[in-house]
Every structure is written in C-alpha cells, then in structure tokens.
Amino acid sequence: SAVISQKPSRDICQRGTSLTIQCQVDSQVTMMFWYRQQPGQSLTLIATANQGSEATYESGFVIDKFPISRPNLTFSTLTVSNMSPEDSSIYLCSVEDRLGQYFGPGTRLTVT
C-alpha cells in the first residue's frame, strides 16, 4: 500500500490566518483526496484532487475557503483560509490504489 506523509502533524493558529497542509505519497497516484474529521465526528470528504485539473469540491466546501493544489502525481496541498475556531479539525489526505483507499496520519489543527 502507498505510504503517505503529511506536514505539519499539528498546528495552533490564530483566527483569520491561513495554513497550508502538505501531503506527500511515496508512489504516483492519480487521485488524491482531502478529508476533515471534526472533534467527536466522523470523516467528511472535502474535495478530490486530480493532477492537472481543478479540484472537485463536495457540497458545503468551496475553493475560496479550501484551495487545493496538485502539481504532480505524488504531492498535494490543502490550504485552510481565513480560519475560525470552527475549522479546528484533523485534516487527512488519502489516496487510492488497487486495494482501496489509504489515509495519511492527519494534521491536527487548532484555531484560537
């Protein structure tokens, strides 16, 4: 299975600032995904990021708030913009291979 790393692993940010989360995969993958896991809740898909095209956002998520880059087949970034305390979550990157979907370790974001 793919090995996925994320940076940073955690951060504490002030309201109104932005944070960019990086996701690196050890193999080339077509599709990468970004999920959010809010405190005490399950995972919610934010968007799908394919290399060479605009990310596709799920209902309730918009590009202005969560811009995504996918410059190549092993890397993606998610930016959480103009943060508020409601954005405090774990953000997870995931990829798909022939066996299924695999997740990174997550980035724990706290907004104060």
Partner 1 sequence: AQSVTQPDIHITVSEGASLELRCNYSYGATPYLFWYVQSPGQGLQLLLKYFSGDTLVQGIKGFEAEFKRSQSSFNLRKPSVHWSDAAEYFCAVGANDYQLSFGAGTTVTVRA
For residue 104, state whether it binds partner 1 (rule: CB under 8 A). yes
- Shortest distance, position 82 Cβ to partner 1, whole Å: 27
Nearest distance in Å: CB 42, partner 1? 4
**Which residue, 66, 110, 64, is CA-closest to 87?**
110
Does residue number 34 form part of the binding site for partner 1 (CB under 8 A)? no
> Quick one: CA torsion of 45, 22, 19, 65, rounded to 10 degrees?
-40
Q: Which residues of 84-98 are buried (b: 16+ CB within 10 A; e: fewer)?
A: eeebbbbbbbbbeee
**Choice between 13 and 43, CB closer to partner 1:** 43
List of residues contacting partner 1 (CB under 8 A):
1, 4, 31, 33, 41-45, 48, 92, 94, 96, 99-106
